[in-house]
Chains A and B, each alone.
Chain A
Amino acid sequence: MNLYRYASPATFYPLAGRLVPWFALLAAAFTAAGLYISFFVAPTDFQQGEGYRIIFIHVPAAWMSMFIYIVMAFWSAIGLAWNTRLSFVMARALAPTGAMFTFLALWTGALWGKPMWGAWWVWDARLTSELILLFLYVGYMALQAAIDDPRRADRAGALLNLVGVINVPIIYFSVKWWNTLHQGASVSLTRAPSMAQTMLWGMLVMAIAAWMYTIAVALARARTLILERERQTEWARAVIKEEA
């Protein structure tokens, strides 16, 4: 099988259409399992009571906010290097979902901070760098919307993503580099997990659910973008007529 074949919008479009329902289904299944672990399997925390259950949304959302930005920067780099149309479409399709997860990381963080720290918000390195990530997503989307020529918008946005991706390691290591109120990494490859196994599993299952959801929604968005851009081509004209 030649994978490069799918770099062509004409072959990618129907493939994405077939994949979307499967990823949506997987997302629903993992969400159901993750919610079950979050509320019915994971024990009460001895320090934070039931309040800690926010972790099952907060950590996966924060992971996704950083991952998606890295993936966007990856597609931007590929697009700039090889001028592949589909790469820019993928970067564009991912941005709103990335922004949503960044917002949710901040929102759930505020709801967690209030009862545990006594403050909705503090200008701490972790929180501030995550807020900058939200601005980077919103800035990218605004830039795309402001430039009429899609090719110029693609290149300008890609450049912004490549510069902005430097913020991701800053967010990740902020709890190490600076004295922050925010706690350190919840999961690390180099040391034993600092929490109950079931809590860890709940977080991982919810993170997989978030991944599946992101793939489904980004592919669906990419399909619409592709149709818009390819509307002059023979195959796109046929699709547009068919879906009437």
Chain B
Amino acid sequence: MIWDSWDAFWAMGGYALYVWGSFGATLVCIAGEAWLVRRQRRQVLSRLRRLQRFDSQ
């Protein structure tokens, strides 16, 4: 183990803002993109279903 304690781990040798700012932003971007892709799929599917119903009438 290279860290003396969890506090030392979170402090990142005084670079906490920069290190966690980088890893945190990446997490937010990836989670956000995955969510957007799912939402887009749901929206497109419901629109296409509506179009289909409209066509068959």
Q: Report A's interface with B, CB cutoff 8 A.
A: 39-40, 43-44, 49-51, 53-54, 57-58, 61, 96-97, 100, 103-104, 107-108, 111-112, 114-115, 213, 217, 220-221, 223-224, 227-228, 231, 237, 240-241, 243-244
The answer to whether B37 and A54 touch across the interface, beta carbons within 8 angstroms, is no
The answer to whether A224 and B22 touch across the interface, beta carbons within 8 angstroms, is no
The answer to whether A51 and B18 touch across the interface, beta carbons within 8 angstroms, is yes
The interface size bin for chain B is 20 to 34
The answer to whether A111 and B21 touch across the interface, beta carbons within 8 angstroms, is yes
Known: A224-B40, A224-B41. A54 touches B33 (CB 8 A): no
Q: What is the CA–CA distance of A114 and B33 in the complex, to the nearest angstrom?
A: 27
Known: A104-B26, A228-B48. A220 touches B19 (CB 8 A): no
Q: Which of B1, B2, B44 contacts A44 (CB 8 A)?
A: B2
Nearest neighbor of A48 in chain B, beta-carbon distance = B15
Q: What is the CA–CA distance of A220 and B44 in the complex, to the nearest angstrom?
A: 13
B33 CB to nearest chain A CB (Å): 6
Q: Report B's interface with A, CB cutoff 8 A.
A: 1-3, 9, 12-15, 17-19, 21-23, 25-26, 29-30, 33-34, 36-37, 40-41, 44-45, 48-49, 51-52
Q: What is the CA–CA distance of A109 and B12 in the complex, to the nearest angstrom?
A: 17
Nearest neighbor of A225 in chain B, beta-carbon distance = B44
Q: What is the CA–CA distance of A228 and B21 in the complex, to the nearest angstrom?
A: 37
The answer to whether B19 and A244 touch across the interface, beta carbons within 8 angstroms, is no
The answer to whether B34 and A217 touch across the interface, beta carbons within 8 angstroms, is yes
The answer to whether A50 and B22 touch across the interface, beta carbons within 8 angstroms, is no
The answer to whether A50 and B19 touch across the interface, beta carbons within 8 angstroms, is yes
